[in-house]
Chains A and B, each alone.
Chain A
Amino acid sequence: MIDVDGVHLALGETDVLSGVDCSVPEGEFVGLVGPNGAGKTTLLRTINGLLVPDAGTVIVDGDDVADLGSKALSRRVATVPQTTSLEFAFTVEQVVEMGRTPHRSRLDWTDATAAVERALARTETSHLAERHVDEISGGERQRVLLARALAQEAPVLVLDEPTASLDVNHQVRVLELVRDLVDDGRTVVAAIHDLDLAARYCDRLALLHDGRIVAADAPETVLSPSNLADAFGTTVGVTESELTGSPQVTAVADRPERDARVHVVGGGRPGARALGACWRAGFDVSVGVVPTGDVAATLADDLDATAITAAPFAAVDRATRAAVHDRLVAADVVVLATDDPDPASAAALEECERVVDWRAGVEDDAVADLHWSPAGGAGAEPGAPAADAAVVDAVLDELPGATGDD
């Protein structure tokens, strides 16, 4: 439906798009993601004809956008802008009516057609029809703009940050509606700032960085920690949301490089939190033994860290014990994040005892390297995860050569 081929575009002296290639098949919902200034809005504007590429072509439904007049293009591509000056006392119905402009002759003054009513009904704004657009809320406004675009009855819908400045409820409602439209056969391209929402609702994502598309694929593939780290210039953790099953991106500003290994003993939320805290602090982390499917194991997978797992409620076999033993020996610090061990953690604890005994036998001063931390940390409720900072501080204290000022 949309083919963007080799598009270059400079605004003033700045190259905003430098060779963008992407295509959007009919009936797909493609989300444009990327950092501020990556060129998302600019790319959308080449698709809806507001900007003309310096080089390259944008083909919509078989024709070059540059060859289509504004009217012909607006019958194919409807736009929901990010901001619009709606401070005039037009009624909601009048604004939605303006969506019919591409289908009207200049002298045709008829209003309130079936298309307008359909658009109002679809976006649940019928009850606002007589209200003035300058008197409705931000969420209602966004739905009215969507209604205006629906009234255009164009096969392609372009949305620029449809959820920016909306509350969680309205964000989801707007995107659910867009998703419904896609399921009805519309083709949608949307610039979406919120990566989690983009991943949840889009069929595919295109990651823009420095005026180029660096990845375009299914959300799970595009939103990899390495892609995101390159594009956004910060460390990110990508986890899977238990609620929606879609990727969830957490940016971690300035994850320091620390040349130290930390092994976490203990699963469940305390283990996962200790693992997350140590990973964010820049340690090379591992966890285990934890039951397969434990949150700590899932988190370790998401963070590309090692998790030593055993089948739940089963005895821990010899090989697994050996694996955790190796980890414990190699670790600079071990964090114990459990005080009510399940069978898997109990096995890991036993290994810990042995490692401590062994280490104590080999080097006298190595005992201090092993940090034994009761779950919850000092002063916390029993069983509750220790505060992230407390875990990291405790680990740093136990590191060989710790100065206490890091």
Chain B
Amino acid sequence: MRPSARASLWSGGLLATLAGAAVVSAAIGPVSVDPVVVAKACLNAIGVPTGLGFQVAPATVGSASLPVPVPVLDYTYPFDLAVPSTAETIVRQLRLPRIALAAVVGFALASAGVVMQGFFRNPMADPSIVGVSSGAAVGAVATIALPLALPFGLQAAAFAGALVTAFAVYVIATTDGRTPVATLLLAGIAVQTFLGAVISYLLLQSGESLEQAVYWLMGHLRNSSWGEVEVTLPLAILAFAVLLAYARDLNVMLLGEGDAQALGIEVERSKRILLAVSSVITAAAVAVAGVIGFVGLIVPHVMRLLVGPDHRVLLPTSALAGATFLVLTDTVARAGPVELPVGIVTAAVGAPFFLYLLRRREVHAL
């Protein structure tokens, strides 16, 4: 079968699974709601962006304040089905933003994971390998622990920290316009170690906000809002589109950089673009959800076993599977008597599964 047909078929199936998982998840919670009502409320919540405007938000550092323009999207809602207003509020204002954000974050992390594993030709690579998560964590913990305030506050600081770190690692690992992946990997590890020290120091200084900082570091989707979805979803889709355009290049790059160059790929340029875009998509996810491990590692692995190494199929299917996986694990995280950070659930589910795969020797290489 042609790869585009395979990709569409798998993606269609996974999209349906994701929609199903979202509806099931929206029905689970302290207040039980009829599944049909849930489905209707979900349809009502689907918004299509139809306009773009700007708002000015103040950025404050200590007592100084600086106005920053922020883009705002206008939405049109095509569905308007009759649903009881309490149910609509619970589903649409409380549960759906969190489910949507889980889906976006899972989508983003799994996409970046596929790209990083292909890029590094290393099965242990994950989206945060170039220090994106550590950078985001420094930004976030600094915002929590220090007297800083920016538009979107913590998320913006985490996003900026992530991108600055990724760029720094890239610059450190680059000589004469070439970025050997081994150097990049080691530079990433070194920078992550250094930032780990910074985070530890900030945690020591955080005093009363320690619990909040630690909770963020574990990765969670508590208090998610439509606002976060509105910012991360377009970013994730845009970045995903770029990555998908490079799916063929990624396939060829799996043969090694020399081969890829000889086959007409501008390897260094492709690497720069893939690194930049997957850093942005990871940064967006980490900024709103904290450090959620294993999604970007385990989902691409499982999908590779199912659909093979062709990135034209692997990338979209992993992205959708990642979205579904995080929606389901976050449902587990919030369904219990005590709400857990979803990062704990993904790691607790993901690590044993990963070991199971290793034991079965199905993961020989990638």
Contact = CB atoms under 8 A, between A and B. Distances in A.
Contacts of A111: 2-3
Interface of B: 2-4, 121, 245-246, 248-249, 251-252, 254-256, 258-259, 261-267, 308-310, 312, 364-366
Contact of B246 (A71, A88, A90, A106): A106
A265 to B, nearest CB: 58
A102 interface: yes
B215 to A, nearest CB: 39
Contact of A88 (B258, B309, B312): B309
B46 to A, nearest CB: 28
Contacts of A131: none
A79 B117 CA distance: 25
Contacts of B263: 74, 98-99, 101-102, 148, 152
Contacts of B312: 109
A70 B258 contact: no
Nearest to B257: A50
A84 B262 CA distance: 12
A102 B310 contact: no
Interface of A: 45, 48-50, 69-71, 73-75, 77-79, 81, 84-90, 94-95, 98-99, 101-102, 104, 106-107, 109-112, 134, 148, 152
A86 B255 contact: yes
A387 to B, nearest CB: 48
A136 to B, nearest CB: 15
A87 B248 contact: no
B295 to A, nearest CB: 22
Contacts of B245: 106-107
A237 to B, nearest CB: 37
A88 B310 CA distance: 10
A152 B254 CA distance: 18
Contact of A50 (B2, B3, B261, B308): B261
Given A101-B252, A106-B246, A87 B2 contact: no
B265 A89 contact: no
A88 B259 contact: no
A88 B254 contact: yes
Given A86-B255, A89-B309, 13 more contacts: A71-B264, A77-B262, A81-B258, A81-B259, A85-B255, A90-B308, A94-B310, A98-B252, A98-B263, A99-B263, A102-B263, A109-B248, A110-B2
B266 A70 contact: yes
Contact of A106 (B2, B248, B254, B366): B248
A90 B310 contact: yes
Contact of A69 (B258, B266, B366): B266
A309 B3 CA distance: 72
A298 B364 CA distance: 55
A109 B264 contact: no
Contacts of B248: 101, 104, 106, 109
Contacts of B264: 70-71, 73-75, 101-102
A109 B249 CA distance: 11
Given A109-B4, A109-B312, A49 B261 contact: yes
Contact of B255 (A45, A50, A98, A112): A98
Given A106-B248, A109-B248, A85 B266 contact: no
11 contacts: A50-B262, A70-B266, A71-B265, A74-B262, A75-B264, A84-B256, A87-B364, A104-B248, A107-B245, A134-B365, A152-B263
A79 B258 CA distance: 10
A152 B308 CA distance: 24
B258 A71 contact: no
A51 B254 CA distance: 20
Nearest to B2: A111
Contacts of A50: 258, 261-262
A53 B256 CA distance: 22
A87 B261 contact: no
A50 B267 CA distance: 10
Contacts of A70: 261, 264-267
B243 to A, nearest CB: 12
A116 B344 CA distance: 48
A106 B249 contact: yes
Contacts of B256: 81, 84-85
Contacts of A69: 266
B259 A84 contact: yes
Nearest to A133: B255
A74 to B, nearest CB: 3
Contacts of A90: 251, 254, 308-310
